[in-house]
Amino acid sequence: MPHKKAIVIGAGIVGLATARSLAERGYRVTVFERHPQAISASIRNFGMVWPVGQPAGHLYERAMNSRNIWKTVAEEADLWYDETGSLHLAYTDLELNVVSEIAELYATDRGYRLLSPEETLQKSPAVNPDGLKGALWSPDEMIVESRVAIAKLPAYLADKYDVRFHFNTVITEVAYPAVYSGNLNWEADEIYICSGADFETLYPEVFATNHFTKCKLQMMRLNAQPDNWRIGPSLCGALSLIHYTGFKPAPHLAELHTHFENTLPEYLKWGIHVMVSQNHLGELTVGDSHEYGLHLEPFDRTFINDMILQYFQQFASVKDLSVMQHWNGIYPKRTNGEVDFVYDPEPGVTIINGLGGAGMTLSFGLAEEVIGQGYRSATTTAILP
């Protein structure tokens, strides 16, 4: 019996994860990418695989499945990764109340712990000790170097599964069973659209009628720290506590949100919460901000980077604060709070999109659900254009 054929459009993390899941099930897979390699949101991030941000239930399970797949893939593809865990740091009594509540809520299922200041400083030499009251410790978080991983995974998929890649190939039309690039076309039994914000070009009506906007984030990379100095776990300031849905059950979270509205209104206006991860070279990635809209300025706002660094220094003390790079990234975001979008615009064609800023955390798990027919939607039914 001949193998079924599948086409995947997009070689970012969603497309690569989808290609892997298809190939694992015996499909002959061809991936199309408009650039020489993926250069959008999949490489413009922290490299964080971040289960701590996901709510209890199938999204957390999806994140942990993704984490396990990331480990397997990284080992097989000879990619660096670091199972760092994470610390959410508290410097006020209110922040301590929130992290204490989160630790208690998830102590059994996730192994979270509330750390004393002394225990926190033992976990990381980068934590600012001044005024430190404690921290939430999670063992689950993992770091990859996304710029390297996304560039190297195509060769791994080609070698292990004979996945074929067509780079520098812009797909301009999809009409099942074919995809078109100018006068060229290819056919397959199943077609998957995994092209991030670019899917708006192929399916503008679907994009417009299904609660999509775009999110622009700003981030920066600090120089490699001297003498191989490592920060240990990824670190987060308390602003991150109000950003992630996994923390919503904490009884004092609403009070903390109100406190930040009164004390840090500009940070909330620009969607700033501050985190730091460290790669294999010792470089630190620090960010980020969140601006929403269908038409976003291509230029970075210097004052946002300044605000990020100012808040960063409240909870972290590093050896070298010099900024070597800064950038912005744009990804699709649902405006109705939904966290994935899996939709068939016609039989044989599936759009996988809408993961927001959690692509590195959720893509491998989501692809396994969609391709393995075990998908449990975190969304409502799509709106037909």
User: The tokens of 316 are what?
Assistant: 């972290």
Mean pLDDT value of segment 6-18: 97
pLDDT at residue 167 above 70?
Answer: yes
Query: pLDDT band at residue 3, thresholds of 50, 70 and 90?
Result: confident
Cα-to-chain-centroid distance, residue 343: 21
CA–CA distances in Å: residue 116 to residues 122, 137, 151:
10, 10, 40
Task: Read off the pLDDT of residues 99-125 as tens digits, 9 standing for 90 and up.
Answer: 999 999 999 999 999 999 999 999 999
Asked if 287 contacts 48 with a C-beta cutoff of 8 angstroms, the reply is no
Please say whether the structural domain 86-139+212-334 has been given the CATH code 1.10.286.10: no
Task: Read off the pLDDT of residues 288-330 as tens digits, 9 standing for 90 and up.
Answer: 999 999 999 999 999 999 999 999 999 999 999 999 999 999 9
Mean pLDDT value of segment 48-63: 95
Residues above pLDDT 70, as percent of the chain: 97
**pLDDT at 380 (0 to 100):** 44
Task: Read off the pLDDT of residues 360-380 as tens digits, 9 standing for 90 and up.
Answer: 999 999 999 999 976 655 544
Mean pLDDT value of segment 32-47: 92
Lowest mean pLDDT among 43-47, 72-76, 185-189: 43-47
**From the candidate CATH numbers 3.40.50.720, 3.50.50.60, 3.40.50.300, 3.20.20.70, the one assigned to the domain spanning 5-65+146-210+338-371:** 3.50.50.60
| Burial grade of 118 (CB within 10 A; 0-12, 13-18, 19 or more) | exposed
Mean pLDDT value of segment 242-264: 97
**pLDDT at 374 (0 to 100):** 63
Q: Count other Cβ atoms within 10 Å, centred on residue 2.
A: 6
Helix, strand, coil share of the chain (percent; to 5)? 40, 25, 35
**pLDDT at 375 (0 to 100):** 65
Domain boundaries, the chain: 5-65+146-210+338-371, 86-139+212-334
The C-alpha torsion from 171 through 174 and 177 to 183, rounded to 10°, is: -50
CA–CA distances in Å: residue 57 to residues 110, 252, 340, 378:
12, 22, 15, 10
pLDDT at residue 385 above 60?
Answer: no
DSSP letters along 104-116, please?
HHHHHHH--EEEP
pLDDT at residue 132 above 90?
Answer: yes
- Mean per-residue pLDDT of the chain: 94
Query: pLDDT band at residue 384, thresholds of 50, 70 and 90?
Result: very low
pLDDT at residue 349 above 80?
Answer: yes
Phi, psi of 219 (to 5 degrees): -140, 170
Between 58-77 and 359-371, two packed helices, what is the crossing angle to 10 degrees? Answer: 100
